[in-house]
Amino acid sequence: MDIVSDSPISLKIDQMKERVLWQHPLIVERGIDQTRLAFADSWADSPEFSFLVIGDTGSGPHQDCDPQRQIAQYMLEHSDSCRFLLHTGDVVYLVGSREHYQEKFIKPYREFLLGGEQPNRLAYDRMVFNLPFLPVLGNHDYYDLPLIFGLLNQATLPLRRLLGFEVNLHIGWHGSSQGNAYARAFMDYLKGIDSNSQLCRHLESHYTAKTDSGRCLVYKPGSFTRLPNRYYTFRSGGIDFFALDSNTFNTPSPLPATAEGEAYRRLLAERRHDLERQELQLLETASTLHCDSPESAEHLDDLQAKLEQIEEIKLDINKQLIADETTTTIDSEQLKWLRKRLIESWHTKEVRGRVIYFHHPPYVTEVTKWHQAQTLAIRHNLRWVLDGVAGSVGTLAQGRPLIDLIICGHAHCLEYLRTGDTGHADSNLNWLICGGSGFSLRCQREEGSEIMESFPMIESSKGHHTRLVAQSELFVGLSGHKSHKRRPYSFLRIDVQDSCPPKFIVRPFIAERFEQHWSNSKIEPFVIPLTG
């Protein structure tokens, strides 16, 4: 039985639109752009600034330690000198439940919250940030929990503790309700406004910034810190930032109705069956362990991480097995919005650079991600967007990359990659993956740092050839064995220089857990675009 479930894309989109009253008549008549965000502070115009990046954080305590809290405390050294913080998704594991926000978000980041000195008094849907906190949705922020699992998990918890069964997947009673908990925590949740008169007052109070695309929501640190939508854009220091919801364009294509397609379908079913056997073996092993020593505690953490990893792979297999012309939905509205806004950005003189951030990485060498069907879907859809932008922008780019920097999460590591010739407009781009800021870490795949991709033969309708499309320049993840495992959790500080095109100084910071001890360190910074 599957522990978590993932709603259809069409339901995710519809639910999120309801929560922000998408295109409500009162919003339309005021000329409000519901995908735009502005800052109240004048510092947003300064061309030199810094920002922080974290991702895949919301794990809660790991038996005798809390990696997320270690990272949060480390970031405090930089918070005063940084303009905002980007979060690449998966704010709360395992299923984004509202009852877990207190333990897995508010307490770890209490210094970043107004009133955080008394975190137990803060409600997850009333948070106000002192430093702008700008997240995107991860897959776990959308996941739901079959009712029977919630009941069994909570009802049997005392018995499991009595019997010494220590594995706790932290799934709680509820799921995310198709991302509802995230929407209440971070978005301007207009659905809860009772009357048109109240809505009018709210719009007149908070949607006051005037931009070239209309009025928009104003973000006021320490006062009102809400996001306008599940995907949005903002401008800082002449850089356009685009925050995307990649959960709605990651659906795998249907398997072909051919002998080859049926053979692959059988292979997927067999792999799923094998994964279910592995789950049972892991649970059996876990039932023999107790948290009576640091070594056992870390072993339990590893087992829980493997169980979560298996669930993720099973979900990817399920999406492939059920995909057909009726169930496959692509969020074309968001993709067309991104293409249109990128083209507009290139035609805006005061814009000197562009950054995109979202959850699922199109290029990655972490052990579980490259061969997932969702990775291929994300890569395919992003290429469609960028190819369209390249066709429209033409010579205006003058040899510059269409996007100066792309930041993702989802892979539980820190990684810097650069694409080569992909045959598309995502060639020669810089990619950062920041997904190792608190949850279980993973290692690099056995194939190493070179990413090869298979392409159809141009000369004939049959056959494929492979070529190098990306190279990993930096990978920081899980390493070592048993009690000698190194767990380097990470975050990024990125300094933006006053230049056109912009230069980004990337500064990786590491909080490492090794043999029950923590140590902080930093990796040599590097400049994007690369020099020399």
- Which DSSP string corresponds to 275-297? HHHHHHHHHHHHTT--SSSHHHH
User: First vs last Cα of the chain: how many Å apart?
Assistant: 53
pLDDT recorded at residue 169: 54
- Give CA–CA dist 197/199, Å, rounded: 5
pLDDT recorded at residue 285: 83
Q: Tell me which residue of 246, 376, 238 sits closest to 316, measured CA to CA.
A: 376
Query: Tens digits of per-residue pLDDT, 389-398?
Result: 999 999 998 8
Pair 381, 334: CB distance under 8 Å: no
- Give CA–CA dist 469/450, Å, rounded: 8
- Which DSSP string corresponds to 486-511? EEEEEEEEEEEPS-SS--EEEEEEEE
Cβ contacts of 59 within 8 Å, gap of 6 or more:
66, 67, 68, 93, 104, 170, 438, 439, 440
Cis ω on the peptide bond leading into residue 501 (within 30° of 0)? yes
- Give CA–CA dist 36/31, Å, rounded: 12
pLDDT recorded at residue 57: 95
pLDDT recorded at residue 305: 79
- Give CA–CA dist 493/515, Å, rounded: 27
Question: Which stretches within 29-102 are classed as H helix?
Answer: 67-79, 101
Between the alpha carbon of residue 248 and those of residues 11, 331, 470, the distances in Å are 10, 5, 25
pLDDT recorded at residue 171: 62
- Give CA–CA dist 228/23, Å, rounded: 12
**Three-state secondary structure of 177-216:** CCCHHHHHHHECCHHHCCCHHHHHHHHHHHCCEEECCEEE
Pair 437, 490: CB distance under 8 Å: yes
pLDDT recorded at residue 5: 87
User: Helix axis angle, 259-286 relative to 294-322, nearest 10°?
Assistant: 160
- Give CA–CA dist 345/350, Å, rounded: 9
- Give CA–CA dist 62/441, Å, rounded: 12
SS3 246: helix
pLDDT recorded at residue 311: 87
- Give CA–CA dist 235/328, Å, rounded: 33
φ and ψ of 227, to 5 deg: -100, 150
* Domain locations along the chain: 9-254+321-528
Between the alpha carbon of residue 34 and those of residues 26, 114, 188, 214, 515, the distances in Å are 12, 25, 10, 9, 49
pLDDT recorded at residue 458: 53
Which residues in the chain land under pLDDT 70?
1-2, 60-64, 147-173, 290-294, 296-297, 326, 457-463, 530-532
- Give CA–CA dist 165/147, Å, rounded: 22
SS3 62: strand
Can you tell me which residue has the tokens 């709603």?
7
Pair 417, 433: CB distance under 8 Å: yes
- Give CA–CA dist 447/438, Å, rounded: 26
| CA angle in degrees (0–180, nearest 5) for 415-448-309 | 65
β-strands 414-419, 464-476 pairing: antiparallel
Rounded to the nearest angstrom, the gap between the alpha carbon of residue 356 and the centroid of all alpha carbons in its chain is 12
Pair 84, 90: CB distance under 8 Å: no
| CA angle in degrees (0–180, nearest 5) for 33-39-44 | 125
pLDDT recorded at residue 143: 94
User: Helix axis angle, 373-393 relative to 332-346, nearest 10°?
Assistant: 40
pLDDT recorded at residue 303: 83
pLDDT recorded at residue 88: 98
SS3 110: helix
| CA angle in degrees (0–180, nearest 5) for 383-388-394 | 120
The superfamily in CATH containing domain 9-254+321-528 is Metallo-dependent phosphatases (3.60.21.10)
Q: Which residues, in sequence order, are bridge partners of residue 466?
A: 454
pLDDT recorded at residue 326: 67
β-strands 504-514, 517-522 pairing: antiparallel
Pair 229, 244: CB distance under 8 Å: no
Query: Tens digits of per-residue pLDDT, 158-175?
Result: 434 443 444 455 566 678
pLDDT recorded at residue 166: 45
Q: Tell me which residue of 338, 312, 353, 265 sits closest to 442, measured CA to CA.
A: 312
- Give CA–CA dist 123/395, Å, rounded: 51
Question: Which stretches within 347-473 are classed as H helix?
Answer: 373-393
Quote the strand ranges of 237-318, DSSP E.
Answer: 239-243
- Give CA–CA dist 225/118, Å, rounded: 19
Pair 132, 39: CB distance under 8 Å: yes
- Give CA–CA dist 142/372, Å, rounded: 18
pTM, 2 dp: 0.94
pLDDT recorded at residue 163: 39
pLDDT recorded at residue 223: 97
pLDDT recorded at residue 164: 43
**CA torsion angle for 226, 230, 231, 235 (degrees, to 10)?**
0
pLDDT recorded at residue 323: 87
Pair 207, 216: CB distance under 8 Å: yes
